[in-house]
Amino acid sequence: MDRIRIVGGQKLNGTIPISGAKNAALPLMIASLLTNETLVLENVPRLADVRMLIRILGNHGVDHMIDGKRSGDTTHAGQTIRFTAREIVDTTAPYELVSRMRASFWVLAPLVARMGEAKVSLPGGCAIGTRPVDFLLMAMEKLGAQIDIESGYAIARAPKGLRGAEIVFPKVTVGGTHTALMGAVLAHGDTLIKNAACEPEVADLADCLIKMGAKIKGAGTSEIEISGVGSLQGAQHAVLPDRIEAGTFAMAAAMAGGDVFLENVRPELLQSALDHIVSAGATVTSNNHGIRIQRNGSGLQPVDVTTDPFPGFPTDLQAQFMALMTRAKGTSRITETIFENRFMHVQELARLGAKIRLEGDTAVVEGVPKLTGAPVMATDLRASVSLVIGALVADGETTVHRVYHLDRGFERLEQKLNGCGAILERLSDPG
């Protein structure tokens, strides 16, 4: 099992290219099930989750082709992948595949929309909380699907097709909004989604669906209107840049100090996080090509943060910001409102010398003068990269174990940080 060794104490100076967003790429790939024509996705990141979803889609009969490199491509250019679901050969998504990646449960909506039926394994537990699929199933029932739960599977049937409806989510849900969108685009009649997620990845999916012939208004707001169409066609779409990766590297630069330019970033997608980084003492400037993060030798200031749905502070950056605050000159409070168990990185940061105590859904972080390298264990995707951020300034060496979590969401992390002067090395156990 791979691990990463990090030698702390190096400032970061240079340019880091930001990859396509994992959280946008996955629903876009799943949308290929909605048409028998080819969907061409550009700027797809090279991630373990992308490879796993390709396997899952292949189980349903989706062919894929990865384009070769083109003249002028950089080593960090995203992939172009062509997905063709000419014929759906299997409407069952088995447990052994769905259990490895929760987002694969979203295949339920396009399978029912196109084929009138689907049998998808319930995804089971998750390290950062229960993340129930109740809202996703509720959306499908509103669209006319009959849902039965049998032997750990959600079985959905709509033999005469889905029909438009009003869907009101009791709380904001990205997965529920993705599901409702992909179900409604082929439904008979009109659909109105209320309390929809406003995340940029939802708008990106809607933009792609519109290119495929869907009729959607209001994506990116809390109310989305969809008029169902008879069929969708192929299209070409570029995955938007990853705001979580951008925020992560911005916090790494603020932590280590130096001068880093993050290439291919849309600052409006992570403005709340950037505002908090500025409050902590870094300088952030932007231009048409990305954002620049600078911090001189001055110390970090404590900043309180509460996670919220977009445009609030992203839950996917909470662990990284906590790592940053471990070196602040004072006490900060970090409140998690999205997931009930997203503080597992606290104990691992404590192994580096951080002082953090938990008060319900709030972590109270008392900044310390220094962190010290130690062996630590990644518990989930975002927690794992928070340990890397801490290790960048820790005295001595830190070894992060279970880095397969990192590979799910960060493309070429070591190369990107090493290119700016950090010292990271991936180690593999023999055999």
Known active-site residue 198: no
How far apart are the two ends of the chain, measured CA to CA in Å?
9
What distance in Å separates the CA atoms of residue 228 and residue 18, rounded to the nearest whole number? 35
Q: What is the DSSP code (8-state) at residue 25? A: H
What six digits make up the tokens of 338? 């999205």
Catalytic residue among 126, 198, 208, 420: 126
For residue 229, the one-letter residue type is: V
Concatenate the DSSP letters of all residues of 379-423 into one string: -SHHHHHHHHHHHTTSBSEEEEE-THHHHHH-TTHHHHHHTTT-E
Burial class (CB in 10 A: 0-12, 13-18, 19+), 102: middle
**Contact criterion met (CB below 8 Å) for 176 and 162:** no
Q: What is the DSSP code (8-state) at residue 204? A: H
Cα angle 285, 415, 254; round to 5: 35
Query: How big is the chain by its Cα radius of gyration, in Å?
Result: 22
**Contact criterion met (CB below 8 Å) for 148 and 118:** no
**Contact criterion met (CB below 8 Å) for 161 and 186:** yes
Question: Helix axis angle, 48-60 relative to 22-30, nearest 10°?
Answer: 10
Burial class (CB in 10 A: 0-12, 13-18, 19+), 54: middle
Sign of CA dihedral 127, 128, 132, 136: negative
Pairing of strands 258-263, 355-359: unpaired
What distance in Å separates the CA atoms of residue 361 and residue 354, rounded to the nearest whole number? 18
Question: Helix axis angle, 381-391 relative to 243-256, nearest 10°?
Answer: 20
Residues with active-site annotation? 126
